[in-house]
C-alpha cells in the first residue's frame, strides 16, 4: 500500500520547486499555525528560497497581504488577508462558548467583557495599530479585569467576533488593528454549504491526500461539516488506496526533499489526525504537552530536534544519520541563522 507522505510533502511545498513569496506559502497551506512567531516565519523559510524573516514582516506590515489571528482550533494562525473571511466565518463560531466560559473563570463577567469589546473597537479605530501593552492600558482605564489570562482571552473574543486581528509589526511587537479598517472591503462569502466545499478544496491543496477526520481536526470543525465539504467536491476527487481522498488534478509527487530544518509548530505535524508517518517512534521527542519542537527532516522523517540560541543553531540527533544528510542539515542550520538575522 502506498504511503501518502510523498504526496503530502509535495502538497506542503516541501518537495519540488520552492514557492516565491510568503503569501504563496499561506495560499498553499491556507493557514500556518502562528502562536510561535519564529515558527511561522520558519515554516515560510522551509517552503521558499532566497527570503529572510523580514520579508514576512514586510507582507504583514506594508503589503497587508498576511495577518495573524485566532482561527482553526482556537489557535493563532498566519493567513492571507483574502482567506481570512472564509476561515473566520467557518471556524470561529464553535469557539465562542468556551471563550465566554473561560472569561468567567478569569473573573471577567459578561458586562465587563462587552465593555472591553467596545473599548478595543473604539481604541483600534481611533488610535490603531496598538500593541498589547497599549490595549491593556485602555482596558484598565475602563476598569476591565486583565489579570492573569484575562487579557489574552479578551483579545481572543475580539478576534472571534472579527473586531481585531494582528496586523503590522511595530518594532519587534505584533500590533493589533481593527479588522475592517486594515483589511478593507471584503467579498461576500458564499452560503455555508459552498463555503465548506471551498474549505475542503483549499485544505486538500496543501494537505492531500487526507480524509474527513483530518480536515475536521485541522479546522476544529464537527466531523459532519468536514464530510459535507468533501462530499460537495466529490467530482473533483480521487480515492487513494489507503482510503483517503485527494484532488484529481494533483501533479505527481516529487522526490523527498533535501534534508532541512523545520521550525516549531511546523504545518507538517499539524495537518492530519496522525503524524506517525513523520515522527515515527520519536513522538515525545518532537511533541510534548502540546509543544511542537523544531525538528530536522531527512527523507520525510524526523531525525533530530534543534534549538536556536544566541544566534546559533544546535542540532540534537535521535541516532545515527548518514554523513551526507548530516552535512546538509548543518549547512541548513547556517541558512536558518542567516534567515533569522535579516
Tell me the CATH number at 201.
1.10.10
Beta bridge partners of 239: 245
Q: How many domains does one find in the chain?
A: 3
Residue 233, number of CB atoms within 10 A of its CB: 18
Residue 180 within a domain:
no
What pLDDT score was predicted for residue 3?
Answer: 65
End-of-domain residue from the set 120, 144, 161: 161
pLDDT score, position 57: 97
Distances (CA, A) of 240 to 2, 246, 277, 325: 9, 7, 16, 31
Residue 266 lies in a domain: yes
**Domain limits for position 196:** 5-15+188-247
Last residue of a domain, one of 197, 213, 247: 247
Residues 226 and 265 in one domain: no
Q: What is the pLDDT of residue 2?
A: 53
Give the residue ranges of the chain where pLDDT is below 50: 1
pLDDT of residue 96: 96
| Cell (9 digits) for 283 | 513522538
Per-residue exposure over 81-95, b if at least 16 CB sit within 10 Å of its own CB, e if not:
bebbbbbbebbbebb
Residue 73 pairs with which residues in a beta bridge? none
CA gap 291, 294 in Å, rounded: 10
On whether both 293 and 317 belong to a single domain, the answer is: yes
* Cβ pair 211, 245 in contact under 8 A: yes
In a domain, 177, yes or no: no
Task: Tell me, yes or no, whether 153 and 211 share the same domain.
Answer: no
Answer for the pair 221, 91: CB distance below 8 angstroms, yes or no.
Answer: yes
Q: Per the domain annotation, does 329 fall within a domain?
A: yes
pTM of the predicted structure, to 2 decimals: 0.96
| One domain for residues 269 and 336 | yes
Cα distances (Å, whole numbers) of residue 312 to 17, 285, 307, 332: 27, 21, 8, 12
* 239 and 276 assigned to the same domain: no
Q: What are phi and psi of 292, to 5 degrees?
A: -105, 110
In a domain, 57, yes or no: no
On whether both 333 and 278 belong to a single domain, the answer is: yes
Whether residues 264 and 337 share a domain: the answer is yes
Amino acid at each position: 500500500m502506498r504511503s501518502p507522505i510523498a504526496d503530502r510533502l509535495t502538497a506542503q511545498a516541501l518537495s519540488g520547486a520552492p514557492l516565491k513569496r510568503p503569501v504563496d506559502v499561506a495560499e498553499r497551506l491556507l493557514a500556518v499555525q502562528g502562536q510561535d512567531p519564529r515558527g511561522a516565519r520558519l515554516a515560510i523559510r522551509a517552503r521558499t528560497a532566497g527570503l529572510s524573516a523580514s520579508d514576512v514582516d514586510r507582507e504583514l506590515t506594508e503589503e497587508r497581504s498576511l495577518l495573524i489571528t485566532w482561527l482553526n482550533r482556537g489557535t493563532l494562525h498566519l493567513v492571507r488577508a483574502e482567506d481570512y473571511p472564509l476561515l473566520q466565518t467557518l471556524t470561529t463560531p464553535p469557539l465562542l462558548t468556551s471563550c465566554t466560559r473561560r472569561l468567567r473563570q478569569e473573573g471577567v463577567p459578561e458586562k465587563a467583557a462587552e465593555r472591553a469589546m467596545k473599548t478595543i473597537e473604539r481604541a483600534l479605530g481611533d488610535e490603531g495599530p496598538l500593541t498589547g501593552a497599549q490595549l491593556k492600558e485602555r482596558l484598565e482605564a475602563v476598569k476591565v479585569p486583565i489579570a492573569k489570562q484575562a487579557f489574552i482571552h479578551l483579545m481572543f473574543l475580539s478576534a472571534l467576533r472579527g473586531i481585531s486581528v494582528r496586523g503590522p509589526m511595530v518594532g519587534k511587537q505584533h500590533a493589533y488593528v481593527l479588522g475592517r479598517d486594515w483589511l478593507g472591503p471584503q467579498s461576500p462569502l458564499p452560503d455555508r454549504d459552498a463555503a465548506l466545499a471551498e474549505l475542503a478544496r483549499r485544505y486538500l491543496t496543501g494537505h492531500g491526500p487526507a480524509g474527513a477526520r483530518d480536515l475536521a481536526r485541522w479546522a476544529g470543525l464537527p466531523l459532519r461539516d468536514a464530510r459535507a465539504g468533501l462530499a460537495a467536491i466529490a467530482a473533483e476527487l480521487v480515492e487513494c488506496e489507503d482510503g483517503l481522498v485527494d484532488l484529481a488534478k494533483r501533479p505527481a509527487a516529487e522526490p523527498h526533499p533535501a534534508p532541512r530544518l523545520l521550525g516549531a509548530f511546523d504545518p507538517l505535524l499539524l495537518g492530519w489526525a496522525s503524524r506517525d508517518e513523520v515522527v515515527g517512534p520519536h513522538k515525545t521527542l518532537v511533541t510534548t504537552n502540546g509543544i511542537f519542537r523544531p525538528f530536522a527532516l531527512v527523507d520525510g522523517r524526523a531525525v533530530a530536534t534543534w534549538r536556536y540560541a544566541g544566534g546559533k543553531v544546535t542540532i540534537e540527533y535521535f541516532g545515527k544519520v548518514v554523513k551526507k544528510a548530516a552535512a546538509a542539515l548543518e549547512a541548513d542550520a547556517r541558512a536558518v541563522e542567516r534567515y533569522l538575522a535579516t
